[in-house]
Amino acid sequence: MQRAYAKINLSLDVTGKRADGYHLVDMIMQTVGIYDTLTVAESDDETDDSGAVSLSIEMENGGTLSAGEDNLICRAVRSMQKEFGIRKEFDIHLIKRIPIAAGMAGGSTDAAAAFRAVRDLAAPSVTDEKLAELAAGLGADIPYCIYGGTKRCRGIGEVLTEMPDAPNCSLVIVKPPVGVSTPWCYKTLDQTEITGRPDTEAMIRALDAHDLRAVMGSAGNVLEPVTAAAHSEIGEIEEYLRRFKPVRAMMTGSGPTVFAVFDDAEAAKKAYAAVESDPKFSGYEHFLTGFVKNPYGCRKA
């Protein structure tokens, strides 16, 4: 069984655009304690081709996902079979808890878990570095999700630098019942002047100092104004959570999920309980969690 942890962006900056249309980013990513579960079983039989992949999905919080060949899990397994000549069949069951289209790398982390599971079952000599290299061909967030933890991600997201562990805290995470298209968000950003950027270098110094307030004081997400302009729920959630005095409340990724960072666990519990009981948040997904350090016991990137 593999846990596939979600991520949030402590910072997200866009620094340019490649000729092929991919945006260049500079982000500090952080694993959080919301996770999907993958159970992967290997068949004893070999096939004449590259091996079959069977995927079933159990949605804990509602919604639907394709379990066909277009699913990133299936594509990850197929790429492993092709790269390493694996002829075994795999049966995979996914229990989905991470919100969909939420800016939390739900699909990418599931794919990363599939990479790790197939490696452990059928190609144990393959390194994390090789997995991350192979994963980059499927999605820019997947290499980060191979490792998790606190990382600086540059290039299109695949160039990883190990960071000091983020300070302990409590998180309240709220996802409104809307989905956001990442391509739409970046396309809209291209037509918008970026006026406020995170101070990534200051955040790195704050991580070195293990100073949570300084970390979040330098945080920022250049995609938030784009998504928040189209979805008023983002600002409404942030305003609501700020009543409970978090260190910072902001959007992750391309949204629409909002997270609030608390250095007071009791205040976080009160904020979570308020969201849970308030009728205005009916249909919203909400979580009380925290940061997760080195979730997979991976070697350093």
Catalytic amino acids?
Answer: 7, 141
Q: Tokens representing 13?
A: 């900056």
Compute φ and ψ for 76, nearest 5 degrees. Answer: -65, -45
Which pair of tokens denotes residue 12? 């997200």
DSSP one-letter code for 62? S
Residue 162, number of CB atoms within 10 A of its CB: 13
Beta-bridge partner residues of 286:
174
Q: What is the 3-class SS of 92-132, one letter each residue?
A: EEEEECCCCCCCCCHHHHHHHHHHHHHHHHHCCCCCHHHHH
Per DSSP, the three-state class of 85 is: coil
